[in-house]
């Protein structure tokens, strides 16, 4: 496995792979890798000749008051994980190389980026899409792997690839959870012991909502209130949003008649965690 930070160097390697007719799977990350990221690498390895993982903490997707400067970084451990899971190349561009100050053109995200995380993190998806578009152009992967954990991001990137004609197939990957149900996240390391225990209320509430859906409940306001009440039983939880939206358009729904996404964001102390449930059996 090689670690490359220069754009020209990685392009040369990729050109050679393409010349040999090899397929490339790509896993973009911000590092501090956990089992969730590694499952994406594993899936990419199973479906491609070569796997590239990028590690880049993208300043464009953080708002000024967010955790960019303290976002956890653990490059040595990340490289070990990438190697163990069969990555061929790790791309670690410097901030200056990927985002030179002359960068004046960005990817604008329309309707899909306005609600859910887009409303509490203004500009977030513009930042995500701009960097992912740059990475797609540099690495030209055949397939790109994104976790369903970040469901809105997955929906937006899927649309970006279609709308901007990127020649890469976006592959959704299932959410990986801790044994008590908490969705794995690089931000879980911020949680105190008490917050970590309290955070299980998110997946418990989503599971209970799933039972309601399975029993035939279809009124989204009722289900939303149920989830909010359930999360509020945990005193350390502070809800940012709970929303029920159409799975592909991400627009709010009243009566659940098509596949939906229930998306939630909850603060525990200063740590904001997201999770979601997709329900398609309607
Ligand atoms: P990040 O480093 O947080 O930007 O995440 C990089 C990729 O890993 C994204 O596509 C995430 O959706 C995915 N990911 C993060 N956590 C999980 C998880 N628990 N299960 C599956 N995929 C995940």
Of 119, 138, 173, the position where a domain reaches its end is 173
Instruction: Pick the atom of ligand 1 nearest to 153's CA.
Output: 12
Residue 252 included in any domain: yes
What pLDDT score was predicted for residue 101? Answer: 84
Question: What is the whole-number distance in angstroms between the Cα of residue 217 and the centre of ligand 1?
Answer: 30
Are 157 and 203 contained in the same domain? no
Are 73 and 196 contained in the same domain? no
Residues 41/1, Cβ–Cβ less than 8 Å: no
**Ligand 1, atom 18: closest residue by C-alpha:** 36
Q: Which two tokens stand for residue 127?
A: 């930042």
157 lines ligand 1 (CB under 6 A): no
What pLDDT score was predicted for residue 14? Answer: 98
Residues 241/266, Cβ–Cβ less than 8 Å: no
Are 42 and 100 contained in the same domain? yes
How many domains are contained in the chain?
Answer: 2
User: Which of 150, 273, 277 to mutate to test ligand 1, by most ligand atoms within 8 A of the CB atom?
Assistant: 150
Residue 102 has pLDDT above 80, yes or no: no
Residues 253/184, Cβ–Cβ less than 8 Å: no
Residue 167 included in any domain: yes
Q: Which two tokens stand for residue 31?
A: 């590092």
What pLDDT score was predicted for residue 252? Answer: 95
Of 173, 202, 237, the position where a domain reaches its end is 173
What's the residue count for the chain?
282
Domain extent at residue 91: 2-173
Residue 182 banded pLDDT, cuts 50, 70, 90: very high
Question: What is the whole-number distance in angstroms between the Cα of residue 14 and the centre of ligand 1?
Answer: 24
The arithmetic mean of pLDDT across residues 177-189, rounded, is 98
Q: Which residue has the higher pLDDT, 282 or 254?
A: 254
Are 101 and 8 contained in the same domain? yes
What pLDDT score was predicted for residue 256? Answer: 97
β partners of residue 264: 242, 275
The arithmetic mean of pLDDT across residues 170-187, rounded, is 98
Query: What dihedral angle (degrees, nearest 10) is formed by the CA atoms of 104, 105, 106, 110?
Result: 120
What pLDDT score was predicted for residue 176? Answer: 98
Is 34 considered catalytic here?
no
Instruction: Pick the atom of ligand 1 nearest to 183's CA.
Output: 19
CA distance 56 to 30: 5
Are 116 and 214 contained in the same domain? no
Average pLDDT along the chain: 97
Residue 37 included in any domain: yes
CA distance 26 to 134: 13
CATH of the domain at 17: 3.40.50.620
Instruction: Pick the atom of ligand 1 nearest to 40's CA.
Output: 22
Question: What is the whole-number distance in angstroms between the Cα of residue 92 and the centre of ligand 1?
Answer: 17
pTM: 0.97
β partners of residue 271: 268
What pLDDT score was predicted for residue 248? Answer: 87
User: Which of 147, 155, 176, 206 to mutate to test ligand 1, by most ligand atoms within 8 A of the CB atom?
Assistant: 147
Query: What dihedral angle (degrees, nearest 10) is formed by the CA atoms of 208, 195, 34, 179?
Result: -40
Pick the catalytic residue from 34, 37, 124, 247: 37
Residues 87/3, Cβ–Cβ less than 8 Å: no
Of the listed ranges 65-74, 100-109, 253-262, the least confidently predicted one is: 100-109
Question: What is the whole-number distance in angstroms between the Cα of residue 6 and the centre of ligand 1?
Answer: 24
275 lines ligand 1 (CB under 6 A): no
Burial call 90-115: b when 16+ CB within 10 Å, e when fewer = bbbbeeeebbeeeeeeebebeebbeb
Are 231 and 157 contained in the same domain? no
The arithmetic mean of pLDDT across residues 130-153, rounded, is 98
The arithmetic mean of pLDDT across residues 219-245, rounded, is 98
Question: What is the whole-number distance in angstroms between the Cα of residue 58 and the centre of ligand 1?
Answer: 14
Residue 179 included in any domain: no
Residue 178 included in any domain: no
CATH of the domain at 244: 3.30.1300.10
What pLDDT score was predicted for residue 154? Answer: 97
What pLDDT score was predicted for residue 32? Answer: 97
What pLDDT score was predicted for residue 103? Answer: 76
Are 209 and 160 contained in the same domain? no
Residue 22 has pLDDT above 80, yes or no: yes
The arithmetic mean of pLDDT across residues 7-16, rounded, is 98
Percentage of the chain modeled with pLDDT above 90? 97
Residue 104 included in any domain: yes
The arithmetic mean of pLDDT across residues 42-66, rounded, is 97
Residue 260 has pLDDT above 80, yes or no: yes
Are 190 and 86 contained in the same domain? no
Contacts of 125 (CB under 8 A, 6+ apart): 61, 109, 112, 113, 117, 118, 152, 153, 156
Of 147, 173, 199, the position where a domain reaches its end is 173
Residue 180 included in any domain: no
Are 241 and 263 contained in the same domain? yes
Are 152 and 216 contained in the same domain? no
Q: What are the phi and psi torsion angles at 12 (to 5°)?
A: -60, -45
Q: In 3D, which of 118, 185, 180, 119 has the Cα closest to residue 147?
A: 185
Are 125 and 208 contained in the same domain? no
Residue 32 included in any domain: yes
Are 98 and 36 contained in the same domain? yes
């Amino acid at each position: 496995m090689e670690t490359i930070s220069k754009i020209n160097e990685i392009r040369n390697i990729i050109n050679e792979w393409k010349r040999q007719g090899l397929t490339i799977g790509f896993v973009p990350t911000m590092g501090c890798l956990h089992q969730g990221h590694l499952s994406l690498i594993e899936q990419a390895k199973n479906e491609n000749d070569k796997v590239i993982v990028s590690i880049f903490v993208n300043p464009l997707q953080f708002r000024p008051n967010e955790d960019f400067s303290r976002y956890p970084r653990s490059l040595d451990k990340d490289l070990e994980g990438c190697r163990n899971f069969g990555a061929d190349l790790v791309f670690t561009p410097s901030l200056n190389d990927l985002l030179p100050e002359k960068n004046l053109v960005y990817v604008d995200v329309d309707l899909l980026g306005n609600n859910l995380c887009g409303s509490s993190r203004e500009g977030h998806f513009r930042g995500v899409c701009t960097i992912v578009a740059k990475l797609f152009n540099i690495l030209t992967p055949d397939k790109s792997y994104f976790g369903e954990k970040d469901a809105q991001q997955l929906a937006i990137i899927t649309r970006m690839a279609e709308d901007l004609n990127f020649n890469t197939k976006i592959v959704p990957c299932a959410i990986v959870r801790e044994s008590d149900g908490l969705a794995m996240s690089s931000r879980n390391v911020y949680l105190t012991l008490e917050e970590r225990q309290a955070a299980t209320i998110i997946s418990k509430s989503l599971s209970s909502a799933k039972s309601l859906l399975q029993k035939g409940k279809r009124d989204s306001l009722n289900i939303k209130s149920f989830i909010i009440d359930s999360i509020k039983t945990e005193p350390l939880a502070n809800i940012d949003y709970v929303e029920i939206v159409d799975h592909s358009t991400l627009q709010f729904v009243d009566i659940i008649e098509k596949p939906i996404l229930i998306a939630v964001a909850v603060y525990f102390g200063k740590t904001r965690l997201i999770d979601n449930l997709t329900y398609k059996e309607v």
